[in-house]
Every structure is written in structure tokens, then in C-alpha cells.
């Protein structure tokens, strides 16, 4: 009997111990009331749960269990507050540069960027550089790219789609978006030169959100090696272009790279090659993974929903018939694609290519009655609103009419973020998606080859088999 006493005492005090631990997690050492939630396992946090459940279910489960406003967790070794709902989105978007600053996970920084410029690139980006990116990516500047986007889409379909009865949409859309980005950003047309960037870049995007274990054979190790190859190749390209600009005494840039090489701050200082490389890499990441995921999702729904396809086809053929066979698309044509863009936006709502964004708190602040301590990371996510019946009735239904008139309520549809840090490439993505939609539906009807193909989450949602589709000529 005496031997049982320690076990009985342990059972007696276990509930008290758990209650005390829970109390400590809800309150820090200064008595601040922290958001409800859990830090998960020591060291691991809730990384495994996030990976296994996927971001949508992970967030939904914790909103129901802890709070519909904000909950805490531990992801990537960081204490993190997940903000939820339209009010949470609005709060984070409006607190940029006041309570919050930019933050990227260490795995992304190590795989992608020059370490010498990581902190300055992320925390001290001048208004000039930020405004510069917005200026070159705003609609007025992008109008000139539409004919080239159209010409490259036609060429891509001729080379990779026309002679095939079945194509895998996701890998081909990645090829198209990367080729287009290289052409528009750096005037690259040579396929071998583009491959020297594209092949290692694929290693980076496949591994930058993996477990940060830098051992041979891991995705993270391959991402780091791929990142170095990308940086080395970009430095070669940037150095060569700077030499050409100086020799030719050019004062206006023909593409994004040249404009970056020529822009100066208020002191007349040029951007360094490493800063330019980091900015180009950021642009390539956005245009490669998320835009190709968006294109894939749009075509997935067009293949699944004949009534939506028919409306898109009717609109796009009206535009095609108003032009000559060889005449390329213009800004005026894009502005006529009302239903097509509503269908694309509904696709972005149901299958958003970007999951949200991280920030770091620069001071303690209170939200919804809870203290978010300085140094904590924050995260806003599309998944707390996009399929939330509070904001979208019958949220699983594909319904482009949601975007007619004034559209969804503010801060509920956020595939591109919002506030000062809204994705500067939003308009670029819109044009790229619509131009590609136009060219695909003009030539083909689509039918999924694997009707029940699953979607998995990496950096973006990815169809497990690459979304193979049957290409059917019109009239069938």
C-alpha cells in the first residue's frame, strides 16, 4: 500500500499541475493576459499539426476551440498570434509600421536571400524603394506588357499544349509564369539561360517552407543549395547589365532590372547588386509559385464547372471576334473580361494561392482584451474569412456573382493582403491570369483526367498529380 502512495499523490496533483501550466500560458511573468491557445510540444511547437491538418483546418479548429478573434500557437520556433476574421485582418493591415514590422521565417531567409542584406531588405526598406515597386507594377505601367503576355501565352500553348491530348496544368503554368517573369523583369529570352535560374529556383520553392533541417538529402538542404545557385546567376546577370548601362550611357530602363539599376535615393545613391538581387528574387517568388497556383486553380474550376466555363468562353470569344486573328490583346480588352475576372476571384477565394503573411511586433499592444507581447510574431490568413459562413453564404459553392456590384465586405476577401503592404504584384497577377484564361478557353474545352484529384499545401495549394486535363476541341 505504501508503494502506491507516490502514484496516488501524482494522480492527485496532476490536474492541479496542468491547471497551473495552463494559467502560466495564459499569463506571462508580468501578469499580462495572453491570447488563448497552446504552444504545442517543446521545440516542435505545433509545426506537425499545421503540416498534417493544412492551414485551413488548423486555423478553423483553433478558432472554434480558443477564439474567433485571436489565438496563440508556436510555429517555426516562434511564439505566434494568429489574428482571425475581418476585424483581425483590418487591425493588422492598418498597424503596419506602427505596431508591426516585416518578418520572414529563417528558413525562407536562409534559402533565398543574401544574408548581408536580409535585415535591411526586410526592416529598413525605404519609402523610395517601396514606392518604386508600386510605380512599376501599377496598371498604367503594366498596360504596355499586355501584348507581350498575349504573344507569350500563344507561343506557350503552341509549343506545350496543342500537340497533346492531355496536359498537366500545374507544371506547365509554372513554366509559363517563370518564362514570362524572366522576359518582363530581365528581358531574358534564351531558354538555356532561363533554365539556369528555373531549375535551382524550383529547389528553393520546394524546400523553403520545409522543416529547417540542413542535412544532406533534405528538402531544406536542397533549397539552400538552390538559393546559392540562383543568387550567383542573378549576380552575374546584374553585373553584366550594369556594365552595359554604363557603356551605353542609358538613362531609361527597358525592364524592371534596368530600372532598379538606375533608381537612386534622395542622396543620389544607387541600389547595390545584392539589394537588387534580393528584390528580383522576391518578385520571382511571387510571380512563380503563387501566380502559377492561381492559374492552375482557375483552370481546375473551368474544367469542373461547365456552366462557368460556358460563360467565360462566351465573354472571351466576343473579345476574340472583335479583333483580327493576329491582333494582340490590349488593356481595353482586359477591361471587358468582367465575368472572367469574377470567376477568377471566386477561384482565389476557394483556393487562395497565398496563405497569409507574417509580421513581428515592435511593442506590446492589446487586441480583443489580450496582450500581444513585443517580439511575438503575428499571422493573418485568408482561411479565417474566405470560407467563413459569417462572411460568405454557402461558402463551398463556386459563385462568381459574389463579386458583382460592391462585392464582398471589406477585409473578408484578401488573397493579396491589404493596407500598406498589399501585394504590389496584384495587378500583374490579374493581367497574367486573364490573358492565359483567354488563350486557353479560346482554343480548348477542358475536362479533368482525375476527377477526384486531391489538393495538398506546400508554399501554395498544389494538385497531387499536377492537374492533368483532357484538351477537347470546340464542337465536341
Binding residues for heme: 423
> Which of 181, 182, 219 minimizes the C-alpha distance to 202?
219
Rg (CA), the chain: 24
Q: Which residues contact 476 (CB under 8 A, 6 or more apart)?
A: 445
> Which of 301, 394, 287 minimizes the C-alpha distance to 346?
301
Q: Which residues pair with 359 in a beta bridge?
A: 102, 378
What residue numbers does the annotated binding site cover? 423
Tell me, rounded to whole angstroms, the distance of Cα 75 from its chain centroid: 18
Q: Give me the numbers of helices (H) and strands (E) for the chain, helices first please.
A: 18, 12
Q: Which long-range contacts (CB under 8 A, 24 or more apart) does 469-475 make?
A: 469/166, 469/167, 469/169, 469/299, 469/303, 470/165, 470/166, 470/446, 471/161, 471/164, 471/165, 471/166, 471/167, 471/444, 471/445, 471/446, 472/444, 472/445, 472/446, 472/447, 473/444, 473/445, 474/444, 474/445
> Which of 466, 459, 463, 378 minimizes the C-alpha distance to 55?
459
Give the SS3 label for residue 250: coil
Which DSSP string do the residues of 280-339 spell out, in sequence order? HHHHHHIIIIIHHHHHHHHHHHHHH-HHHHHHHHHHHHHHHHTS-TTPPP-HHHHHT-HH
- The Cα–Cα gap between 360 and 375 comes to 6
Element (DSSP H or E) covering residue 6? helix 5-26
Amino acid at each position: 500500500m505504501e508503494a502506491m502512495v507516490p502514484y496516488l499523490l501524482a494522480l492527485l496533483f496532476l490536474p492541479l499541475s496542468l491547471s497551473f501550466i495552463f494559467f502560466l500560458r495564459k499569463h506571462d511573468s508580468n501578469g499580462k493576459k495572453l491570447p488563448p491557445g497552446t504552444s504545442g510540444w517543446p521545440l516542435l511547437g505545433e509545426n506537425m499539426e499545421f503540416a498534417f491538418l493544412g492551414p485551413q483546418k488548423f486555423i478553423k479548429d483553433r478558432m472554434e476551440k480558443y477564439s474567433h478573434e485571436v489565438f496563440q500557437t508556436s510555429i517555426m520556433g516562434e511564439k505566434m498570434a494568429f489574428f482571425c476574421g475581418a476585424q483581425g485582418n483590418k487591425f493588422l493591415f492598418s498597424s503596419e509600421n506602427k505596431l508591426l514590422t516585416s518578418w520572414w521565417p529563417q528558413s525562407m531567409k536562409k534559402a533565398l536571400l543574401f544574408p548581408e542584406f536580409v535585415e535591411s531588405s526586410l526592416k529598413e526598406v525605404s519609402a523610395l524603394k517601396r514606392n518604386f515597386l508600386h510605380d512599376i507594377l501599377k496598371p498604367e505601367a503594366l498596360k504596355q506588357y499586355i501584348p507581350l503576355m498575349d504573344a507569350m501565352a500563344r507561343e506557350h500553348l503552341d509549343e506545350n499544349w496543342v500537340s497533346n491530348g492531355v496536359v498537366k496544368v500545374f507544371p506547365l503554368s509554372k513554366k509559363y509564369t517563370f518564362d514570362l517573369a524572366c522576359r518582363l523583369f530581365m528581358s531574358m529570352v534564351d531558354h538555356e539561360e532561363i533554365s539556369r535560374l528555373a531549375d535551382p529556383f524550383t529547389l528553393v520553392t520546394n524546400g523553403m517552407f520545409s522543416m529547417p533541417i540542413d542535412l544532406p538529402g533534405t528538402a531544406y538542404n536542397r533549397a539552400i543549395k538552390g538559393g546559392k545557385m540562383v543568387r550567383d546567376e542573378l549576380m552575374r546577370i546584374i553585373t553584366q547589365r550594369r556594365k552595359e548601362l554604363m557603356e551605353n550611357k542609358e538613362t531609361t530602363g527597358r525592364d524592371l532590372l534596368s530600372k532598379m539599376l538606375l533608381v537612386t535615393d534622395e542622396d543620389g545613391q544607387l541600389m547595390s547588386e545584392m539589394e537588387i538581387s534580393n528584390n528580383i528574387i522576391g518578385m520571382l517568388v511571387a510571380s512563380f509559385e503563387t501566380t502559377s497556383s492561381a492559374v492552375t486553380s482557375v483552370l481546375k474550376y473551368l474544367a469542373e464547372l461547365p456552366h462557368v466555363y460556358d460563360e467565360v468562353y462566351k465573354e472571351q470569344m466576343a473579345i476574340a471576334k472583335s479583333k483580327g486573328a493576329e491582333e494582340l490583346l490590349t488593356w481595353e480588352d482586359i477591361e471587358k473580361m468582367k465575368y472572367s475576372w469574377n470567376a477568377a476571384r471566386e477561384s482565389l477565394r476557394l483556393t487562395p494561392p497565398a496563405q497569409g503573411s507574417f509580421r513581428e511586433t515592435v511593442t506590446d499592444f492589446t487586441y480583443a482584451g489580450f496582450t500581444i507581447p513585443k517580439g511575438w510574431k503575428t499571422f493573418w490568413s485568408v482561411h479565417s474569412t474566405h470560407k467563413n459562413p459569417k462572411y460568405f453564404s454557402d461558402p463551398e459553392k463556386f459563385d462568381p456573382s459574389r463579386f458583382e456590384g460592391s462585392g464582398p465586405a471589406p477585409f473578408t476577401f484578401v488573397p493579396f493582403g491589404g493596407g500598406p503592404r498589399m501585394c504590389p504584384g496584384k495587378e500583374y497577377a490579374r493581367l497574367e491570369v486573364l490573358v492565359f484564361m483567354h488563350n486557353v478557353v479560346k482554343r480548348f474545352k477542358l475536362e479533368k483526367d482525375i476527377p477526384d484529384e486531391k489538393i495538398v499545401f506546400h508554399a501554395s495549394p498544389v494538385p497531387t498529380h499536377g492537374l492533368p486535363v483532357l484538351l477537347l476541341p470546340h464542337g465536341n
